[in-house]
């Protein structure tokens, strides 16, 4: 059984992962990740393991033997052509375990880095500038602040749970309310989106990318956010109108932004976000720790083994 893994490289980590491979299967990885390479390699594959590289309708059509797609993680709506898979009756398996821990850690790291301007401070220090006082004045404390969580699913909850220890007040918005017990456990209060935006010192996004959430944080909503507040996005880039965000950061309405995801990925050279001193940027790595990768890949291969066993 041929398994195409939509990821570039054949690093030692991937070789380690091969130890999880079910008997009788063969793992194929990518060299360039270009469409032509995928179309050629997918032709005789039975299973595709998908991550951040898009699996398009054309690729699905080029795979007559395709039986199963396993998504590494949970956010598959924007990376897999779900309609094309549905038409063929090809199931999608996900591997939700591990991700909430890693992504929530990353979100809180971005909150702290944005609060304390540590990415900027580090760069300044390395460049020989040591003006600590100016940074001190701009910095703010996470403890005691109001954090608004948009999307209280697995990652939103993991973030709220970790923030409990920081003495923050947690607000959240989600069409699905938490149970009263969970609200107490997570110390979180449900409010509408506009209230959350105007009351929070830090807003953290944890929604999937759907027709409803695309550009949900647009210019009017950014204007609603508190002056000097912080936006953290570890969900999907297009949830935020990036040019409106750049404007809000430029004029200083927002104090800072911590972003792991962008409107266009990979992050394009010349993106004005990189020129702003009040941003901290990471290349879509919120879930990508060594521990979570191994955890997720064992989940992927468990799903494959269960599929092969029928």
Q: Which of residues 68-87 bind ligand NAD (CB under 6 A)?
A: 73-75
From the list 29, 234, 278, 292, which residue makes contact with ligand NAD (rule: CB under 6 A)? 234
Residue 19's alpha-carbon distances to 95, 151, 152, in angstroms, are 18, 36, 35
Which of 81, 153, 195, 247: binder of ligand NAD (CB under 6 A)? 153
44 φ, ψ (degrees, to nearest 5): -115, 25
Catalytic residues: 236, 265, 284
Q: Counting contacts by CB under 6 A, is residue 176 touching ligand NAD?
A: yes
Task: Measure CA of the first residue to CA of the last residue in the chain; give whole Å.
Answer: 14
CB 182 within 8 A of CB 154: no
Does 212 bind ligand NAD (CB under 6 A)? Our answer is: yes
- Asked if 174 touches ligand NAD (CB under 6 A), the answer is yes
Q: Is 162 among the residues that bind ligand NAD (CB under 6 A)?
A: no
Q: In the set 148, 156, 255, 258, which binds ligand NAD (CB under 6 A)? A: 156
**How deeply is 98 buried, as exposed, middle or buried, from its count of CB atoms within 10 A (0-12, 13-18, 19+)?**
buried
Nearest to 86 by CA among 57, 54, 59: 57
Q: Contact between 307 and ligand NAD (CB under 6 A)?
A: no
Q: Which stretch binds ligand NAD (CB under 6 A): 8-16, 128-136, 145-153, 161-169?
A: 145-153
What SS3 class is residue 5?
strand
Q: Which residue is nearest to ligand NAD (CB)?
A: 153
Q: Does the protein bind ligand NAD through residue 266 (CB under 6 A)?
A: no
Q: Is 44 helix (H, G, I), strand (E, B) or coil?
A: coil
Alpha helices in the chain (DSSP H): 12-17, 35-42, 57-61, 82-88, 99-116, 118-126, 132-138, 154-163, 180-186, 193-199, 219-224, 242-250, 290-308
149 binds ligand NAD (CB under 6 A): no
- The answer to whether residue 33 forms part of the interface with ligand NAD (CB under 6 A) is no
Kindly list the residues in this chain that would bind ligand NAD in the complex (CB under 6 A).
73-75, 99, 103, 150-156, 173-176, 206-209, 212-213, 234-236, 260-261, 284, 286-287
């Amino acid at each position: 059984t041929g398994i195409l893994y939509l990821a570039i490289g054949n690093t030692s980590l991937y070789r380690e992962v091969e130890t999880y491979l079910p008997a009788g299967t063969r793992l194929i990885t990518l060299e360039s990740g270009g469409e032509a390479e995928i179309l050629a390699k997918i032709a005789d594959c039975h299973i595709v393991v998908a991550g951040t590289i898009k699996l398009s309708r054309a690729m699905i059509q080029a795979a007559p033997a395709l039986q199963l797609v396993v998504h590494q993680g949970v956010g598959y709506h924007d990376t897999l052509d779900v309609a094309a898979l549905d038409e063929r009756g090809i199931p999608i398996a996900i591997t939700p375990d591990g991700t909430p821990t890693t992504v929530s850690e990353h979100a809180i790291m971005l909150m702290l880095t944005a609060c304390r301007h540590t990415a900027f401070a580090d760069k300044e220090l390395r460049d020989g500038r040591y003006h600590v006082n100016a940074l001190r004045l701009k910095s703010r404390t996470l403890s005691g602040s109001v954090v608004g969580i948009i999307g209280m699913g697995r990652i939103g909850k993991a973030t709220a749970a970790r923030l409990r220890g920081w003495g923050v007040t947690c607000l959240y918005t989600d069409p699905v309310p938490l149970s009263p017990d969970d609200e107490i456990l997570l110390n979180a209060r449900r409010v509408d989106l506009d209230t959350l935006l105007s009351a929070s010192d830090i807003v953290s996004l944890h929604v999937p990318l759907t027709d409803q959430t695309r550009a949900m944080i647009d210019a009017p909503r950014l204007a609603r956010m508190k002056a000097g507040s912080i936006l953290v996005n570890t969900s999907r880039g297009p949830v935020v109108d990036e040019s409106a965000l750049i404007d809000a950061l430029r004029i200083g309405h927002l104090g800072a932004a911590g972003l792991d995801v962008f409107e266009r990925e990979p992050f394009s050279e010349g993106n004005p976000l990189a020129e702003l001193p009040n941003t901290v940027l990471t290349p879509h790595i919120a879930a990508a720790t060594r521990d979570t990768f191994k955890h997720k890949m064992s989940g992927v291969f468990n799903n494959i083994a269960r599929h092969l066993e029928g």
